[in-house]
Amino acid sequence: MNERIPYLACPLCESRNLAALRTGDCSGHALYDKRLSPTIAWKKCGDCDHVFTDGYYTEEACRILFGRTQERQQVGGLLEQNRILSARMIEKVLPYAAAGTWLDVGFGNGSLLFTAQEFGFRPVGIDLRSENVQAMKSIGFEAHCVDIAGLTLPEPCAVVSMADVLEHMPFPKDGLRAANRLLRTGGVLLVSMPNTESFVWQAMTEQDEKPYWGELEHYHNFSRTRLYALLEAHGFGVARYGISERYRACMEVVAVKRSGASSPG
């Protein structure tokens, strides 16, 4: 099937100066379905160096992929282990925001919201998997089945977390624009994703171990440099770098919404 809509330009800088970079084998992925191509083609932007897939999935392909939920993404999964990981993420945010609404985008197993509530935040979650949203609602948490670009909330958020989310979005700038819109000035954006500039990423690629080149759910491979530039362009100042304990080779960055940030185009 023709499962991807091709990117005609770089999804970050709109350049049409694109080159084929490499392919990845996704046939062993947990969500792989024989109706989909067994390989993923990656491109590199000649202007901003961003690396991304040659296209993003059609609605039909999304239905095939997201019809199944991996165990680690089910609400309440590995509750106690995930609470410890979530607490470490929240502790990185506390110097910049310690109360208010915490919006978690793509809440998955819900752990970050359960734990943010313990720390005194008002938890709100969005996820595209409707069964996850129903599960969160059934245990009394505010949850919405909506893309962040389509979300409106009655009050600005103190924190927006996008843990392993931007690399899943066909157009990450839409996500950052929405996060900026939903945050109060001085509010915190917590983002995580694999870092292609980390030594561990390079070592894994050299050892022919490619955890992300065959990742069906990712459209982007960000470097720290490219992410920082993108955050700056969307009205955020990076406050601290950290690594993620959730997934391999990932960075976890705390950024703060600047005062007087105009709505970037």
Helices (H), the chain: 59-66, 79-93, 111-118, 130-138, 172-182, 199-206, 224-233
β-bridge mates for residue 118, sequence order: none
CB 116 to Zn ion: min, Å: 34
β-bridge mates for residue 4, sequence order: 57
CA–CA gap between residue 139 and residue 144 (Å, rounded) = 14
Interface with Zn ion (CB under 5 A), residue from 24, 26, 36, 50: 50
Give the max Cα distance, the chain. 49
Stretch that binds Zn ion, among 49-57, 87-95, 141-149, 251-259 (CB under 5 A): 49-57
CB 226 to Zn ion: min, Å: 8
Stretch that binds Zn ion, among 50-58, 62-70, 124-132, 133-141 (CB under 5 A): 50-58
Pick 21 or 239: Cβ nearer Zn ion: 21
Give yes or no for a contact between 264 and 234, defined as CB atoms under 8 angstroms apart: yes
Q: Is 176 one of the binding residues for Zn ion (CB under 5 A)? A: no
Q: Is 13 one of the binding residues for Zn ion (CB under 5 A)? A: yes
CB 162 to Zn ion: min, Å: 20
Pick 1 or 8: Cβ nearer Zn ion: 8
Pick 12 or 158: Cβ nearer Zn ion: 12
CB 206 to Zn ion: min, Å: 25
3-state secondary structure of 149: helix
Identify residue 214 by its one-letter amino acid code.
G
From residue 18 to residue 47, what is the string marking binding to Zn ion with x (rule CB under 5 A)? Answer: ---------------------------x-x
From residue 111 to residue 130, what is the string marking binding to Zn ion with x (rule CB under 5 A)? Answer: --------------------
Interface with Zn ion (CB under 5 A), residue from 15, 39, 134, 185: 15
CA–CA gap between residue 263 and residue 92 (Å, rounded) = 26
Number of residues located near Zn ion, criterion CB under 5 A: 8
Distances (CA, A) of 116 to 17, 101, 156: 43, 9, 17
Q: Is 48 one of the binding residues for Zn ion (CB under 5 A)? A: yes
CA–CA gap between residue 208 and residue 135 (Å, rounded) = 39
3-state secondary structure of 93: helix
Cα-to-chain-centroid distance, residue 137: 22
Binding site for Zn ion (CB under 5 A): 10, 12-13, 15, 45, 47-48, 50
